[in-house]
Structure formats: structure tokens, C-alpha cells
Structure 1
Amino acid sequence: MPRRSTQEWIRLSLRTPGILIFGMVLAPCGWILNLTATVAPNWRTLNDLPDAPPNEFIQQGIWEICRSTSTDTRINCNLQDTTYFGNQVIEVAQGLMVASLIVTLIGLAVAIPGVRCWRDQPNWIVAGLGGLLIFLSGVMTIIPIAWYTHILEEISTVSPRISVRVGYCIILGYIGGIFEILGGAVMFIGICRCCGGKNRGETRVEEVAGPRFRNQKQPARRVEVPSLTRPRSSASSVPYSKDSLDDDVSFPRAKSPAAPSVNTSYGGRPYEADL
């Protein structure tokens, strides 16, 4: 697509573009969900434990294991299970989840200076690089979550009779990872101008002005007319003479009444009324 000059594009307002707002909202939300999924000990739940009350269950995370009951709010954590923590998926999940949290913070720190909050135009390259880091952090979250879910029942269990259920950390991890992937991908799209610039919230001048601007008539050209003033007459206080008034009048004037004439052809004697 041919590059267009800067004068051909204008902003509808000084607000932050929508794709950057979308990414800057989803990224922190995803980070909070991933943080909860990382520290909470509920990646899976073991029920129907042998030699245990029916209401007792075990919650297993990537950092610790807790035992609890459905009738009591107290939780007994710091349980040891070397077989469970020795699985490769646990070690990979620990590293990737922590790395995902760190990369998300770095991506936000890079994207914030590029977002148009106090500038006339955003720095699309900086904001796009921050979006790329956020996208990668979401991928690092989805990998261990999906792997753990795939082998959920194959990780060391005490007995085949034990019922294994998915914990809420898996659900939060999926949602948080998807939030970061979507937010980072949308922010990264802003690096390239596509869709006629509308992906950045840009609109052509003609589209913003509308047909009213395009059909607007050009103002009439002003023509300087020479002055027609004439010198004042010395016999009158008006700035023109009687002769010039007769010349300049472009409408018919009323005729002045004729003077009464004296009939001199009458030969009789004058009457007394005539004297």
C-alpha cells in the first residue's frame, strides 16, 4: 500500500486510539488472573481419598499442597509430596508462570510511554513492541496450563479410586492467558498502517469533512472598484454639482411646472380685475 503524506490524515480527537485502550485494559486484567493462578494451590483437586472422611479433599498447585474439608474453612497446607513436585510439568509450569508475570510487567512498562496519553500522536513502534511482549507473556501462560490439563489424571495419584477434578487456577490461567494474547496482538497491529489507516483510528480529511465540505462553493473573488468621487463644486456644499447630478441620474425625473404665460394677443381693453 503506498505511503501517504502526513497532511492527508487527521485525528478525530485527542483520545487514545481504541486498539491501545483495548490492549492496556486486557493486559493488567490478564496479569492479575495469572498471578492468582500462579500462587493459589488449586490446579487440581483430589476427592474420594482412601482412609479419609468423604468430605475431605486435597488441593494441589505448582508451589504447595493443601488439605481441606467441605464443612470447615480451615486449610492445612505445606504438605509434602516429592513424587508430585518431581513431575516435569510442575517444574516447567513454575518457570513459565513466573516468567509470564515478569514479561507482562515489562511489556506494560514499554507500552505506556508509547500510548497517546499526553502526546498529540502515539509512538506506534514503542506501543507495538510492548504489545508483542504482552502477547508472548500470554503464550507462556497458556503452554503450562494446557500441558497440565492434558495430563491432569496422569500426574502422580495415590490410588486409581481417587477422583481428579480441574481446579479454578486452570480456568483463571486460561482466561488470563487469552486476555494477554488478544491485548498484545491488537496493540502489535498498530505498528503497520492497514485498512486505510482505520486500524489506528485515522480517517481521511474528506471522510471527516463529509460531502458538505467537498461540495462547498468557493467564496466569490473580491474585485476592487475604482472610486467615482468627483471634486466639490465651489457654489454648493454638496460634493457634486448640479450638472453632474443631471448626468448621473439613471431614472426619469419629474418635469418642472411651466411658468404661467401672459396672453399678449388680446386686443381689448384691460378689465379692472386685470389691473
Structure 2
Amino acid sequence: MPRSTQEWIRLSLRTPGILIFGLVMAPCGWVLDLTATVAPNWRTLHNIPNRPSDEFIQQGIWDICRATSTNTRAECNLLDTTYFNNEIIQPAQGLMVASLIVTLIGLAVAIPGVRCWRDRPNWTVAGLGGLLIFLSGVMTIIPIAWYTHNLTDIATVTPVIDVRVGYCIILGYIGGIFEVLGGFVMFIGICRCCGGKNRGEVRVDEVEANRFSRQKPPPRRVEVPSLSRARSNASSVPYTKDSLDDDVSFPRAKSPAARSVNTSYGGRPYDADL
């Protein structure tokens, strides 16, 4: 009975590339998001009035620090009620923490579905984990983009103060993009597309057809003529023995004449001569 054309098979037992990509990008994005969440450097304030020119303030979503360009030690835990009461701070705190938690949940769901103890991945479970990782990246990008858009409009900023983007914004963008890409790539494995290439699968019929076409043809039989034939008297040589004597480029030695027996001599005959 012929097999159904909807049957698929994996030619390799290695973990699919899309799942490896997602499991590498998601932890990297989580580390960057964690740094962006806890570090107090979402923006930096320079040229603060009534303060030394080399002094600057670093503001984050959890803490505020004061430092100088000549002293590497910063003074943190500064109070700024106006800054922390801004409408963007509390949503940013909640979304960043939620993003970290959802990423861990997504990894915990995706890892068992990737390959563990099975020859074939559980694409539904791995795709669900990828969806959670994708959502965690979105939850990171939203507060980062919102804070960047209102960077100079947040309270405690005067026209004199020079406002600069902090490194937490850069790390947050990179981490969120990592999680969005990793989660999306893992999620597309939940459905088979591109002829099964996203899962590393091929149709069973195609495998059988390729295997049949690659079979070597049987060796061709070659008839070898028999060497046990009777030798013919007719010669295929286009010359004869006499022609060899004529076609000579150097003089031949003359053969000696036949010796004749001469019995007419004056000696005494022997019995043999009688």
C-alpha cells in the first residue's frame, strides 16, 4: 500500500537550527535586559546649575547616582520625588521586571520541547516557549522606546542641563531585539513551511525517489572473444619470404656452394670407394 504524501521525516537527528538560534539569543537578551533594569543610567545630566562643571547625574528607573569625571566612585540612593513620580517610571519598572520573568518562563517551556529525550522536537511546546520569549522582548522595547521619546521632557530637566542617552537604553534595545528575533524564529517552527525546511524535514516520497534515482545501474556484460581458435594457414602478412630476400638495404653474404664429391684422383682406392 503506498504511503501518504503528507508523511514527513527528518534526515538528521541534530537539533534544528531555528531552535538553537532561539535558545542562544534569548539568554543573551535576558542578560542585557537585566543590566538595563538594575543599572542607574537610563539618562545622564550634565551642566547642572550651581554644581561643579565635571559633575553629572545618572538617572535610572530604580536609583539615581551622582559622580564626577575625576572620581570613579559614585554617590547613589539620591532622592528625587519629582523624577520618580513621573508617569513613565512606574510602568517602565513593571514592564522590565515582567519581561525578565516572562523570558525565564519561556526558556523553561521551550527547553523540554526542543529535543529532550526524543528523536523529534515537540514543535508545539517549543513554539509556545518562543512566543513567550517574543512577548518578553516586546515588553522590554516598549518602556525603552517610551523613555527615549520623552528623554528631555521628563521632570527635573531645565533648558540649561545637557541631557544624554545612558548605556541602559542601548543595552535595553539590543536585549529586546535579541529576544524578539529568538522568540519569533522559534515560533515559526510550530507550523511547517518552506517545504519543511524550517523544521529540517522532507517528504517520505521524495526521500524514496532520490534513493531510487541514486541506485547504480547493473554492470554491462562484455563479450570477450575466445583465444582457442584453430590457426589458419593463410597469413595476413602482406609479404612473403621471397620478398624479404629482395627488400634488403645491405648486401647479404653469399651462401657457400654445395660441395661435390670428386672420385677422380690418383690415390689408392679404399674399400669404401668400391
TM over 0.5: yes
User: In the alignment, what sits opposite 1:183?
Assistant: 182
The one-letter code of the counterpart of 1:98 is V
Runs of at least 5 residues in structure 2 that lack an aligned partner in the other structure = 220-227, 229-274
Alignment of 1:69-218 (within 5 A): 69-204=68-203, 213-216=212-215
Contact 1:15 1:117 in 2 (8 A): no
Separation in 2 of the partners of 1:164 and 1:209?
66
Separation in 1 of the partners of 2:102 and 2:5?
35
| Shift, 1:55, TM fit | 1.1
Alignment of 1:242-261 (within 5 A): none
The one-letter code of the counterpart of 2:173 is Y
Contact 2:57 2:64 in 1 (8 A): yes
User: In the alignment, what sits opposite 2:6?
Assistant: 5
Counting matched residue pairs gives: 218
User: In the alignment, what sits opposite 1:60?
Assistant: 59
User: In the alignment, what sits opposite 2:262?
Assistant: none
| Shift, 1:204, TM fit | 3.9
What SS does the corresponding residue of 1:101 show, helix, strand or coil? helix
Separation in 2 of the partners of 1:177 and 1:117?
27
User: In the alignment, what sits opposite 2:19?
Assistant: 20
The one-letter code of the counterpart of 1:80 is L
Contact 2:6 2:203 in 1 (8 A): no
| Shift, 1:203, TM fit | 2.8
> Per-residue CA shift, 1:93-134, capped at 9, x if unaligned?
000000000000000000000001432000000000000000
Change (3 A) 1:71 1:208: farther
The one-letter code of the counterpart of 2:191 is C
Separation in 1 of the partners of 2:182 and 2:37?
20
Runs of at least 5 residues in structure 1 that lack an aligned partner in the other structure = 221-250, 252-275
> Per-residue CA shift, 1:196-232, capped at 9, x if unaligned?
1001111345766785741526889xxxxxxxxxxxx
- RMSD, aligned CA: 2.3
Separation in 1 of the partners of 2:171 and 2:92?
14
What SS does the corresponding residue of 2:48 show, helix, strand or coil? coil
Separation in 2 of the partners of 1:219 and 1:112?
49
Work out the percentage of aligned pairs sharing the same amino acid: 78
Separation in 2 of the partners of 1:207 and 1:72?
69
What SS does the corresponding residue of 1:88 show, helix, strand or coil? coil
| Shift, 1:89, TM fit | 0.6
> Per-residue CA shift, 1:65-107, capped at 9, x if unaligned?
0000111111100000000000111010000000000000000
| Shift, 1:176, TM fit | 0.3
> Per-residue CA shift, 1:138-179, capped at 9, x if unaligned?
000000000000000000124210000000000000000000
Change (3 A) 1:79 1:203: same
What TM-score, normalized to structure 2? 0.74
Contact 2:33 2:140 in 1 (8 A): yes
66-75 or 114-123: which moved more?
A: 114-123
The one-letter code of the counterpart of 1:5 is Q
The one-letter code of the counterpart of 1:66 is C
